[in-house]
Structure 1
Amino acid sequence: MTQSFSDRPAIAFAMLPSRTQHVLPDALIQRLGAIGNVLDAAPMQRFDDARAAKLLAETEILITGWGSPTINAAALAQAPHLRLVVHAAGTVKGLLGDSLFDRGIFVSHAAQANALPVAEFTLAAIIFAGKKIFQFRDLYVADRNRKRTQPIQAEAIGNYGRTVGIIGASRIGRRVIELLSPFDYRIVLYDPMIGDAEAATLGVEKTKLDALMASADIVSLHAPSLPATRHMIDAQRLALMKDGATFINTARGALVDETALIAVLKTGRIDAIIDVTDPEIPEAASAFYDLPNVFLTPHIAGAVGLERTRLGEMAVDEAIRFIEGKPLLYEIRREDMALMA
């Protein structure tokens, strides 16, 4: 890695404060200030005003986050000394384009840090799904007695010996597999990029997508949202799922044909735990809000509250590593963009 820095490289921030509380607490700003020149601890929220023009003219390292303005050619023209962009969040799609790579500017991100809470959410969802927790809750609250809940305990439910299907050995998918390893699950994986040897190393059984959909008691989706993966979970694949199975989506709504998903959910044949939808907020009349076999959350599996500090820590670590001339751990290259979520 080569870079030309001043003695104390100039550091600036670009993100929306209302969306990034806890990402960069004072202690992290102070860490940066010990090795670089923090131009202004208050992040830029736009790149087309006088303040941004002044800051960008000096900036060598830009730390971005949710709500950052797009780093387009116009913004780059104002930042002649920019050497590194570190995104203190997950995906950088929509934030930057080829013009940044054309300039030879290094890019890194904190997607690995954001993967941890998503995987934790998924683990909880899998365990709750296996024990039919939401069904127990609804019946118990509705009846104020245990006449209907006690017989369910004798059914073939619970988490012993169940088959969990993981779609996508992404950062999150791999972490979910790791978190599931102490439990008594059979884990099957679909990922066309993973070979048999790597699957064995992960401790999973590699399988075809249709076979996974048909065999799993719980299906958890962790694939990237790409043109090739749009609606990969369609009516045909949903029809393969076992009666009583649960479908979990913490990836992207566009991966699923939601019309088909709602249709099968309305039959009561399967359950769903859904954190992401397409559009991001379902229409007010969407059946997702009302179906008793759907547990819907507002895209909160990723970092919220204090979990966001992991994002800032990872971004600051990368910036310091770069200043010290060490390789970035989470560098993004131009060729990576086509396969990123």
Structure 2
Amino acid sequence: MKVLVTPTSLCRQPDSAALESLRRAVGEVVLNPFGRPMTESELIDALPGVDGVIAGLDDYSADALAAADRLRVVARYGVGTNNVDLDAARARGIVVTRTPGANALAVAELAVGLTFAVARGIPRLDAAVRAGDWPRGEGRELTGGVFGVVGFGAIGRLVAERARGIGMTPIAYDPMLPDEVFAAAGVERCDLDDLCRRSDVLSLHVPLLPETRHLLDERRLALLPADAIVVNTARGGLIDEAAARAALDAGRIYGVAIDAYETEPPSASPLVGHPRVVSTPHSGGHTREAVARMSEQSIDDLITVLRGEASPNAVSSPL
């Protein structure tokens, strides 16, 4: 069998134990040679003859999947599936799996770290000292504030726990979960507009779907307190980046931390480079520990499906 592996963090270590175990199980393993997510056209060239894919953030469109003459499984190396056309996969008999929870802790820790980075201007101060300057730092404290969590799944709940640990009061919005989940976590449930009005920090942890695109738009940005910090470690497109830039320029919000962009790499993002924006390269899940968990789980899922067995992590199965 032949398997294509595309996640950049996994391909950087071609002789890793995870990839060696995959080679022993399937035979031929082909690695993404580009050092970035593969485009639709690159996948169209690469997928013929491939039985399974360990998939990063590549564009598995209907056209790309149509080029796959033997493909049986796309095992997502991560939790999001918005880059995979699930209907097309289902119609072609391709199972799609994901790795829920494998990178939750890593993303949660980055979200909290980015909050501090914006509040205290840490990247700017670091750059100044490296350049030989000695500026007077100016920032704001987080203790005593309200931390709003949009999306109360595994990552959102971990973020809420850590927000409480730094002396903030977490509140959350998630229309998909029952009240019992919020009660068990000791976190107040709010509707989205109320959460925006009350949040000194607002952190996004929802998938990108048609109904969540630009979830934080001009109207909702205007609801935020004037000193609010917005954090996006989830998916690009959840924030209207042009509206967020306008809110920053007008002084309506304090700052933005962003790890996921509407277009990646974000060469045209209006947020990148702004003095009150902290930008990271979609690296929320990229800790050594999370990479190991995602590698193991996605490879296990792929091998399970190729053996003709059902994966508990399947999000799309053949019709």
Q: The TM-score by the shorter chain falls in which range? A: 0.7 to 0.9
TM-superposed deviation, 1:287: 4.7
The 1:176/1:326 distance shift into structure 2, 3 A limit, reads farther
* Conservation of the 8 A alpha-carbon contact between 1:123 and 1:179: yes
Amino acid at match of 1:276: A
Amino acid at match of 1:121: L
Q: Aligned pair 1:31/2:31, yes or no?
A: no
Q: Aligned pair 1:72/2:62, yes or no?
A: no
Q: Aligned pair 1:121/2:110, yes or no?
A: yes
The 1:170/1:137 distance shift into structure 2, 3 A limit, reads same
Q: How does 1:184-195 map to 2 (within 5 A)?
A: 184-195=167-178
Structure (1/2) with the larger helix percentage: 1
Q: Secondary structure at the match of 1:289?
A: coil
Which of the residues 191, 195, 201 maps onto 2:184? 201
What's the CA shift string for 1:305-329, capped at 9, x where partnerless? 7753332111123345557887633
**How many aligned residue pairs are there?**
306
TM-superposed deviation, 1:331: 1.7
1:248 equivalent in structure 2: 231
* Conservation of the 8 A alpha-carbon contact between 1:119 and 1:176: yes
Q: Secondary structure at the match of 2:29?
A: coil
Amino acid at match of 1:192: P
What's the CA shift string for 1:233-265, capped at 9, x where partnerless? 122221222222211112233222222211110
Which of the residues 48, 64, 75 maps onto 1:86? 75
Q: Secondary structure at the match of 1:42?
A: strand
2:264 equivalent in structure 1: 280
Unaligned 5+ segments in structure 1 are 1-9, 336-341
CA RMSD of aligned residues (A): 3.8
Please report the TM-score for the alignment, with normalisation by the length of structure 2.
0.77
Q: Distance in 1 between matches of 2:127 and 2:12?
A: 38
Q: How does 1:171-320 map to 2 (within 5 A)?
A: 171-269=154-252, 270-282=254-266, 287-303=270-286, 307-319=290-302
TM-superposed deviation, 1:189: 0.4
2:37 equivalent in structure 1: none
Q: Distance in 2 between matches of 1:48 and 1:212?
A: 43
Identity fraction in percent: 31
Q: How does 1:152-167 map to 2 (within 5 A)?
A: 157-167=140-150
2:39 equivalent in structure 1: none
TM-superposed deviation, 1:111: 4.9
What's the CA shift string for 1:271-310, capped at 9, x where partnerless? 11122232334455x6523432121223222326775333
Q: Distance in 1 between matches of 2:54 and 2:223?
A: 45
Q: Distance in 1 between matches of 2:270 and 2:93?
A: 48
Q: Secondary structure at the match of 1:332?
A: strand
Q: Distance in 1 between matches of 2:57 and 2:217?
A: 31
Please report the TM-score for the alignment, with normalisation by the length of structure 1.
0.73
The 1:251/1:144 distance shift into structure 2, 3 A limit, reads same
